[in-house]
Amino acid sequence: MKKLNLKKATCLLLVALTGAAACSCFDKGGDSTGSPDIQDVTPNYTLASYDFATVYTNGEAKTLKQYNKDVPAENGNVTYDVYSNIGNKNYLKMELETDVNLVGYINYYSNEDNTKTHSEKFYVEAGSTEFITFLDAFRNGAQGAYEKTISTVSFQNVDDTKEGTFTLKSIGINDRSIDTDEYMYVSDGSTVMGTSAFYGGCITYLEKLEQDVYEYMDSDGNICINRDVDPDSVARVGSEKVNLVNIMDLGREIQPSYYSAVKKENGYNPDYDPTDTDSYYQGLTGSDPIYNPIQCGDFGGHSPQIIDYNYQSNRLYVKMKAQEWFFYTNIQANGYIEVTYYFDEYGSLMVDNRYTDFSQFINEYDVQMHMQETPATYFVYPLNYFYCETKQGVIFDKNVGEQNGRSVSKHSIRHAVSGDYVYDLKGKTVKNGWCAFVNEEKFGVGIYMPNADKYIASRGRKSVNYFSEEGNSKYYDEFFQFGEDELVPSYAVFNYSYINPSLNRRMIQFVPLEYSYALFIGDTKEMGTVFEDLKDSGRLTNAHLAEDETMGWPDY
């Protein structure tokens, strides 16, 4: 495995080399020269349109038959013979008209070896006039990374109530590409959020730019993070560019993670060997994998496919095709995650989310799933205290345990439990729709997501000692070239602080799940004020999650 100079891991221009506890690992290279002046960052891609060279035209309107949702395999496709050599261009636009939702396939082959083929499944919503996508040529695990010829494109109506009318007007191609090493930043001058295409555009970097926030070691050997730190008063300084997000593997970060407990009888047939328990991640219970579309990538280190993105210095929109988490093999989910990041006037990082699954499972209303991670938020481990204002009192607790199948659930501050516990708070018991992980001085990161069904909190390994064998030093030895004075909590193997504002919902095909949340770095008093202002402004309510099930997936 490639080694990294650890200084590259501590600066703002992060590059990542990560490895999971079960030897799931991958390389991610790139150079970094230090933290840039955020005001001088110029995005490479803006909302300006791109010129597409037309490679196919057709103006014929066609009828697509009504969808048989019980037997998807028996639904016919309308196929167009394209046979256009697009070379190394991988940014494609279709101009079209449709009055129904569509599932389609872009079929192509290698120009050097026409037996090397690939088919990309995609989804188009009713009323769309264009569909834009990067073909799968840039990610780690890409299946179309070669010069190619598009052979055919086919379409299928997925509306089970009516026939569809459809016209494919044209196909165009552009040479826009993706640099997976490039970091994209959104900032309001006080806080910066960072991500890259390699990570599917999920949040991998969150830093407070002001207030002298440091990572440091205290006199007892504990790694700490705090603001307003005098660096001369601590034992060692790790970094003054402090990433508050844990990025140990492609399942951490801050990202949505969706679930459906579909089986073979629902049409779920991932390409893996269920008898080979070394071919998939068995989780904490040793169970078979379930359908788990995730933004960042899979357990085997394959990153997801970016479909499209628009980037400005104050706003980032990413649309990507989710990856199935549980597998060492490269299995893409059939679902689009769309996320928009921007800062509001209160200093909160606003995150708007939309997920649409088009796997074409059957009998989906009979399938139950207890938890959708709307996002799963993983913060660095020196933020040890879970903070939440509830109707029973204020939780400020550093004794939160691991979500390991053995810890019991604590449902309120008054709930007496024995042994290790995690918090599993019903949404109606959380007073203001937010909670946080903070240090002993109550400085950290808060997440505000009103109308979540639950607020779940746990910790990874509870050690925060730099030299502890259950901490991160063993991991440093194996994966990094590092000096004695260098500390990087964001790369710690097991240590993390986790919050999930959860929705108890059943995944429904072709129905978008939409919601928003906000993140804020500060102390808990500041969080309360900022999130209250956000609530009073009416800009983030998620009211539809509580009031109108037609706007999302239903409760089971």
Tell me the C-alpha distance between 420 and 2, whole Å: 38
pLDDT digits (tens, 9 = 90+) for 242-267: 899 988 888 999 999 999 999 999 99
pLDDT digits (tens, 9 = 90+) for 175-221: 999 998 888 999 999 999 999 999 999 999 999 998 899 988 777 77
Burial of 298 (0-12, 13-18, 19+ CB in 10 A): buried
Sign of CA dihedral 438, 442, 448, 454: positive
Tell me the C-alpha distance between 8 and 243, whole Å: 13
Tell me the C-alpha distance between 227 and 232, whole Å: 14
Mean pLDDT, range 523-552, rounded to an integer: 88
Residue environment code for 313-352, b if the CB has 16+ CB neighbours within 10 A, otherwise e? beebbbbbbbbbbbbbbbbbbbbbbbbbbbbbebbbbbbe
Is 2 domain-assigned?
Answer: no
* Partner residues linked to 26 by β-bridges: 18
Look at residue 234 in the predicted model and tell me its pLDDT.
Answer: 87
**Confidence category of residue 548, pLDDT binned at 50, 70, 90:** low
Look at residue 462 in the predicted model and tell me its pLDDT.
Answer: 57
CATH for 20: 2.70.98
* Short-list 112, 63, 59, CA closest to 88: 112
Residue 366 backbone phi and psi in degrees, to 5: -90, -5
DSSP letter, residue 536: H
- pLDDT of residue 163 exceeding 80, the answer is yes
DSSP letter, residue 327: B
Question: Which pair of tokens denotes residue 133?
Answer: 């996508």
pLDDT digits (tens, 9 = 90+) for 268-322: 999 988 888 888 888 766 778 899 999 999 999 999 999 999 998 789 999 999 9
Tell me the C-alpha distance between 140 and 130, whole Å: 27
Tell me the C-alpha distance between 117 and 142, whole Å: 13
**Confidence category of residue 445, pLDDT binned at 50, 70, 90:** very high
Look at residue 115 in the predicted model and tell me its pLDDT.
Answer: 97
Query: Do 33 and 132 belong to one domain?
Result: no
Is 47 domain-assigned?
Answer: no
Query: Do 83 and 11 belong to one domain?
Result: no
Query: Do 238 and 123 belong to one domain?
Result: no
Query: Do 131 and 91 belong to one domain?
Result: yes
Question: Which pair of tokens denotes residue 20?
Answer: 């999971």
**Confidence category of residue 53, pLDDT binned at 50, 70, 90:** very high
Is 179 domain-assigned?
Answer: no
Question: Which pair of tokens denotes residue 139?
Answer: 């990610």
Query: Do 301 and 231 belong to one domain?
Result: yes
Mean pLDDT, range 73-84, rounded to an integer: 90
- pLDDT of residue 373 exceeding 80, the answer is yes
In the three-class reduction of DSSP (H, G, I as helix; E, B as strand; rest coil), residue 232 is classed as helix
What's the Cα-to-Cα distance from 73 to each of 66, 225, 260, 510, rounded to whole Å? Answer: 13, 54, 20, 17
Question: Which pair of tokens denotes residue 152?
Answer: 């055919």
Q: In the chain, how many domains are there?
A: 2
pLDDT digits (tens, 9 = 90+) for 451-464: 999 999 999 865 54
Look at residue 12 in the predicted model and tell me its pLDDT.
Answer: 25
Look at residue 29 in the predicted model and tell me its pLDDT.
Answer: 34
Predicted TM-score of the model (pTM):
0.89
**Confidence category of residue 7, pLDDT binned at 50, 70, 90:** very low
Picking from 358-367, 440-449, 471-480, which range would have the lowest pLDDT averaged per residue? 471-480
Domain stop point among 149, 174, 199: 174
Query: Do 23 and 100 belong to one domain?
Result: no
What contacts 277, CB < 8 A, 6 or more positions away? none
Is 1 domain-assigned?
Answer: no
Is 447 domain-assigned?
Answer: yes
What's the Cα-to-Cα distance from 332 to each of 291, 339, 503, rounded to whole Å? Answer: 11, 18, 23
Mean pLDDT, range 521-550, rounded to an integer: 90
Domain stop point among 174, 196, 213: 174
Tell me the C-alpha distance between 64 and 51, whole Å: 30
Query: Do 36 and 57 belong to one domain?
Result: no
Give the chain's length: 556
Residue 439 backbone phi and psi in degrees, to 5: -90, -175
Mean pLDDT, range 148-159, rounded to an integer: 97
Residue 475 backbone phi and psi in degrees, to 5: -65, -40
Tell me the C-alpha distance between 186 and 349, whole Å: 9
Question: Which pair of tokens denotes residue 217?
Answer: 């070691």
CATH for 64: 2.60.120.260
Tell me the C-alpha distance between 517 and 349, whole Å: 8
Query: Do 105 and 251 belong to one domain?
Result: no
Tell me the C-alpha distance between 538 and 420, whole Å: 38
What contacts 164, CB < 8 A, 6 or more positions away? 63, 64, 66, 98, 99, 100, 102, 157
Q: Helix, strand, coil proportions of the chain in percent (round to 5)? A: 10, 40, 50
Which helix (DSSP H) or strand (DSSP E) does residue 309 occupy? strand 305-312
Question: Which pair of tokens denotes residue 96?
Answer: 């079209």
Domain stop point among 140, 174, 208: 174
Query: Do 162 and 209 belong to one domain?
Result: no
Picking from 321-325, 373-377, 491-495, which range would have the lowest pLDDT averaged per residue? 491-495
Look at residue 284 in the predicted model and tell me its pLDDT.
Answer: 61
Look at residue 72 in the predicted model and tell me its pLDDT.
Answer: 80
What's the Cα-to-Cα distance from 528 to each of 80, 117, 436, 469, 521, rounded to whole Å? Answer: 56, 54, 10, 37, 11
Look at residue 76 in the predicted model and tell me its pLDDT.
Answer: 82
Is 144 domain-assigned?
Answer: yes
Picking from 36-40, 349-353, 432-436, which range would have the lowest pLDDT averaged per residue? 36-40
Query: Do 446 and 341 belong to one domain?
Result: yes
Query: Do 345 and 416 belong to one domain?
Result: yes
- pLDDT of residue 1 exceeding 60, the answer is no
Is 132 domain-assigned?
Answer: yes
Range of the domain at 95: 53-174
- Characterize the bridge pairing of strands 315-324 and 293-294: antiparallel
Round the average pLDDT of the chain to a whole number and report it.
Answer: 85
Residue environment code for 374-401, b if the CB has 16+ CB neighbours within 10 A, otherwise e? bbbbbbbbbbbbbbbbbeeeebbbeebb
Report the 10 Å Cβ neighbour count for 10: 24
In the three-class reduction of DSSP (H, G, I as helix; E, B as strand; rest coil), residue 543 is classed as helix
Mean pLDDT, range 336-347, rounded to an integer: 95
Is 348 domain-assigned?
Answer: yes
Identify the residue with better confidence: 181 or 101: 101
Look at residue 551 in the predicted model and tell me its pLDDT.
Answer: 59
Query: Do 265 and 150 belong to one domain?
Result: no
